[in-house]
Amino acid sequence: MSERAFKPHEIEPKWQDAWEAAGADRAVEDPGKPKKYVLEMFPYPSGDIHMGHVRNYTIGDVVARQARMAGFSVLHPIGWDAFGLPAENAAIKSDSHPAKWTYANIETQAASFKRMAFSYDWDRTVRSCDPDYYHWGQWIFLKMWERRLVERRSSPVNWCPSCATVLANEQVIGDGVCWRCKSVVEKRELEQWYLKITEYAQELLDDLDKLPGWPERVKTMQANWIGRSEGAEVDFELCDAAGEPTGEMITVFTTRPDTLFGCTFFLLAPEHPLVKEFVAGTEHEAAVMDVVQKAARETAVERQLGERVKNGAFTGRYVINPVNGEKVPVWVCDYVLMEYGTGAVMAVPCGDQRDFEFAHQYGLPIPPVVVAEDDPLLEELRGVKERVLDDVPWDEAYAGDGVMVQSGEFTGTPTGKGGEGVRAVTAWLAERGRGKEAVNFRLRDWLISRQRYWGNPIPAIHCSECGLHPVAEDELPILLPMDIDVTKGETLADHPEFYETTCPVCGTPARRETDTMDTFTCSSWYFLRYCDARNSRSPFYRDNVDYWMPVDQYIGGIEHAILHLLYSRFFTKVLRDMGMLGFDEPFTNLLTQGMVKKDGETMSKSKGNVVAPEEMIAKYGADTLRTYILFMAPPDKDLEWSYEGVDGMYRWLARVWRFVNDAAEESANGCGIATSQDTAAKVLNREMHRVTGKVTSDIERFQFNTAIAAMMELTNAAYDYRRDVASGARDLPLQREVAGRLTLLLAPFAPHMAEELWLEVLGARGSVHEQAWPAFDAAAAAADEVELAVQVNGKVRGRVVVPADADVESVQSVALAEVASWVEGKDVKKVVVVPGKLVSVVVAG
RNA sequence: GCCCGGGUGGUGGAAUGGCAGACACGGAGGUCUCAAAAACCUCUGGGGGAAACCCCGUGUGGGUUCGACUCCCACCCCGGGCACCA
């Protein structure tokens, strides 16, 4: 037989050109079809594509291609997250300009994506470093400013000495290192720009419940990051240096107001403004300032190291506990954080492990106020209202549920997390105006300013006469100047021609802001821009966004579980409140794909274990690479690269190729007969229908590995048929139908080969990618006879073949006969028949 | 410490509570060939047995069930996130 050889390198470029010329992948708003927005996180143009890209974008491409065949109007766009520090570092290394490096890499990656046959609508390409994109990033910033969501203020911030810029909280990862360069982050007190994401903390938390299509893991991480705590704010009255009440209040946040009677000291963060005021010129100044300075010097890493020693010092001042009027000493200590709550804490050593340790260290009293029901101590203290015991006999604090003791009128109240005691004490305080219910979040505002050149300029002007002003909307975009030499370490702050301007309010000489925005501001709305990518009057029109959004399927790495995904949710909610769009959440379904590893480790140049996608395309073709990377593991799990596995995938595709060619040729020559009644043909026909259903449902559930396995089973069934049935006796129309079906099912995975088989081998009309996805026929997939396992007391002792529609009684009797020797002489207690599966016989004796 | 995942052959991995190990890689043997490659065929969890077949087996120990990789309880190990957050 003179069949055509499988030559991926000839057919792949041919079809890529043909599809591009035909504009095959353009997204069209077709009112006659349901829409589907399939999106993969856009890449950073860091150089050649790597296997992580191949995996991410292949997953998305299979989903997009299958959706088109299944009758959806599909938006599947691509772009580049093109601002950022690596471009500056690369420019310094190569004595070049970040723009040059960035655009060159975009070209390289785009060419690779085309070679991989990713079916993008290239007309909608977005590059975040293009002025027509970052223009609208600046515009959104101004709109946020109008809505009081932008703030410039001074606070302790994270500083990366290697990147020479500040970082957002979310960008400090692991043991206090920079997310990008892994350097140890320092604390500095600086004035910076913030987006007030905390205004949306509650909604960002609540709306996680609106995302059933997100992995539980990601939602948990976001919920933990937002970190909501319920409790109360309690006002303590300050005393003056002589210990006399001043009438002035200081507020603390606590989750356990029910333990207020156990408060024996009061703590201030080292950075708290009252600290210096309290100790200035007193005998306590030296010791307190020692604690303050030590805390300031401490790096994030030092804080992580081993068992932390708590440092503290008495300030000489007192506050008054509102529930019992007790005078409580005020200490400064390094485990209280200025950024959380009010920077002041009521210490309850019997109920909080940190306070417990601190009290031990400095010899402060630890009176028990909440005692567990099963604690013998409760017998001694039950009903005791006044403080009679000053030190608990415990080795550690008790934070669980229990009964209040030594707590005045509240003594005897059951309490614990959300217990009655919490509500009772809070209500008591509220009645007297000394406290109220309160909620605190761990989430901090998003620090977005960066002291770097290659980013979106912040559109603001500093006037020494009249303050800080936004740039006028019609002056946007503030163009990022190109004549900056980063190889000399220059930033915008080194270029007067950029920053010298006049104040838009008073007209005096003023200074333009020289910080740029965090790149994550660019990636927080790019998915909206794709819906209306060439709009020059607005970031996007609402009609277009409301048509395509929300993203039906979003695909990307787990490393963005908090960062990008949280910021994008925030932007979406703000834009919704601005009336720019009409939905609450940007990404309906999220798939976090696993990493591609080699020898158990992530691929990296320094480890020398990188497998280059382009080399694999050159050796096997893109179809093999695409199919392989989906077959090796479920998409959300890590994948271990195997060269042998790629060989195997190539072999299978070649096997499919030969079968389709043989089936087409035999059909054309007519060297067989139609005998679709025989058993072998029935088996093959059924397998074709079963596999159609399996591949369809597996793609829906992102189980690409089992979808491919099912297609392999169909291939094997086809080869079994050809082996078992002599060439003159084959059912040629069936063979041809199977060949066509396999080609259609394979189209999203191996698009070039499927197209070649469809048009050139099977001689069909119209691109395979424009064909309707084959419908699943359950009746045709059903067998008329089924084999059942017969169990006796849970063990398989035989098998019977029965008609698929056999009634329970006849199945039972056939099954009992099959296992007669196991049942003989025993008492049959029960027979369970599971249709199509098995028969379970229970015997005794 | 708290919160998520996960633990199945030599390997990657399959199994709406229903025959554990689909599919593939690797391995062994074979067909074709002067030979090799390719292709094709057979076998491939462990133990016992000549064989039919039997016993054991999804991290460990219990439980629910006619039946558990799957559900429940306790524990061990691995990976990830958070962590002096009051």
Mind listing the pLDDT tens digit for each residue in A3-15?
Answer: 578 999 999 999 9
Q: What number of other Cβ atoms are within 10 A of residue A179's Cβ?
A: 17
Is residue A307 pLDDT above 90, yes or no?
A: no
Crossing angle between the packed helical segments A613-620 and A622-631, to the nearest 10 degrees = 120
pLDDT class for A845, splitting at 50, 70, 90?
A: low
Q: Which of residues 767-806 of A touch strand B (CB under 7 A)?
A: 787-789, 791, 793-797, 799
Is residue A299 pLDDT above 60, yes or no?
A: no
Cα A118 to Cα A109: distance, rounded to the nearest angstrom: 12
Which residue matches tokens 């605190």? Answer: A440
Q: How far is the CA of A818 from the C1' of B53 (A)?
A: 16
> Which one-letter DSSP state was computed for residue A667?
H
Considering only residues A673 and A212, tell me which one the structure prediction assigns the higher pLDDT: A212
β-sheet bridge partners, residue A158: A167, A187
User: Which residue is nearest nucleotide B13, judged by alpha carbon to C1' distance?
Assistant: A633
Question: Which DSSP string do the residues of A75-139 spell out, in sequence order?
Answer: E---EE---SHHHHHHHHHHTS-HHHHHHHHHHHHHHHHHHTT----GGG-EETTSHHHHHHHHH
Cα A61 to Cα A113: distance, rounded to the nearest angstrom: 11
pLDDT for the residue numbered A677:
64
pLDDT for the residue numbered A676:
55
- C-alpha distances (whole Å) from A610 to each of A110, A272, A601 are 20, 50, 10
Helices (H), A171-227: 201-206, 216-226
Which of A39, A36, A40 has its CA nearest to residue A73?
Answer: A36
Cα A553 to Cα A235: distance, rounded to the nearest angstrom: 49
Cα A508 to Cα A498: distance, rounded to the nearest angstrom: 16
In angstroms, what is the C-alpha Rg of chain A?
35
User: Which residue is nearest nucleotide B41, judged by alpha carbon to C1' distance?
Assistant: A723
pLDDT for the residue numbered A156:
80
Is residue A298 pLDDT above 50, yes or no?
A: yes
The two tokens of residue A705 are 């590995």
pLDDT mean over A621-625 = 96
pLDDT for the residue numbered A195:
96
Question: What does the pLDDT look like over A209-248, one tens digit per residue?
Answer: 889 889 888 998 899 899 998 899 999 999 999 999 999 9
Q: How far is the CA of A212 from the C1' of B71 (A)?
A: 22
Question: What does the pLDDT look like over A807-844, one tens digit per residue?
Answer: 888 888 888 888 888 877 778 888 888 888 888 888 87
Cα A194 to Cα A447: distance, rounded to the nearest angstrom: 4
Q: How far is the CA of A593 from the C1' of B24 (A)?
A: 21
Question: What does the pLDDT look like over A748-777, one tens digit per residue?
Answer: 999 999 999 999 999 999 999 999 999 998
pLDDT mean over A421-427 = 93
Alpha-carbon dihedral sign for residues A112, A114, A117, A118: positive
pLDDT mean over A544-551 = 96
Nucleotides of B under 7 A from a protein CB: 3-5, 11-16, 18-20, 22-26, 38-41, 54-55, 66-68, 80-86
Nucleotide nearest to A703 (CA to C1'): B14
Q: Which of residues 224-243 of A touch strand B (CB under 7 A)?
A: 224-225, 227, 229, 231
- How many residues belong to chain A? 845
pTM exceeds 0.90, yes or no: yes
Cα A392 to Cα A305: distance, rounded to the nearest angstrom: 29
pLDDT mean over A257-267 = 95
Q: Which of residues 703-742 of A touch strand B (CB under 7 A)?
A: 703, 705-706, 708-709, 712-713, 716, 719-720, 723
Query: Dihedrals φ, ψ of A767, to 5°?
Result: -50, 140
Considering only residues A19 and A158, tell me which one the structure prediction assigns the higher pLDDT: A19
Is residue A78 pLDDT above 90, yes or no?
A: yes
Nucleotide nearest to A634 (CA to C1'): B13
Q: Which of residues 167-186 of A touch strand B (CB under 7 A)?
A: 173-174
Residue A602, CB, strand B, below 7 Å: no
Q: Which residues contact A477 (CB under 8 A, 6 or more apart)?
A: A131, A134, A135, A138
Cα A758 to Cα A768: distance, rounded to the nearest angstrom: 6
Residue A251, CB, strand B, below 7 Å: no
β-sheet bridge partners, residue A511: A462, A500
Q: How far is the CA of A791 from the C1' of B48 (A)?
A: 23
- C-alpha distances (whole Å) from A66 to each of A622, A656, A689, A695 are 18, 19, 18, 11
Is residue A306 pLDDT above 50, yes or no?
A: no
Residue A830, CB, strand B, below 7 Å: yes
Is residue A277 pLDDT above 60, yes or no?
A: yes
pLDDT mean over A321-334 = 94
User: Which residue is nearest nucleotide B81, judged by alpha carbon to C1' distance?
Assistant: A221
β-sheet bridge partners, residue A255: none
pLDDT class for A673, splitting at 50, 70, 90?
A: low
Nucleotide nearest to A259 (CA to C1'): B86
Q: How far is the CA of A705 from the C1' of B13 (A)?
A: 9
pLDDT for the residue numbered A308:
67
Mean pLDDT over each residue of chain A, to the nearest integer: 91
Which of A324, A377, A376 has its CA nearest to residue A346?
Answer: A324
pLDDT for the residue numbered A773:
97
Q: What percent of chain A has pLDDT over 70?
A: 97
Interface predicted TM-score (ipTM): 0.94
pLDDT mean over A608-622 = 92
Is residue A1 pLDDT above 60, yes or no?
A: no
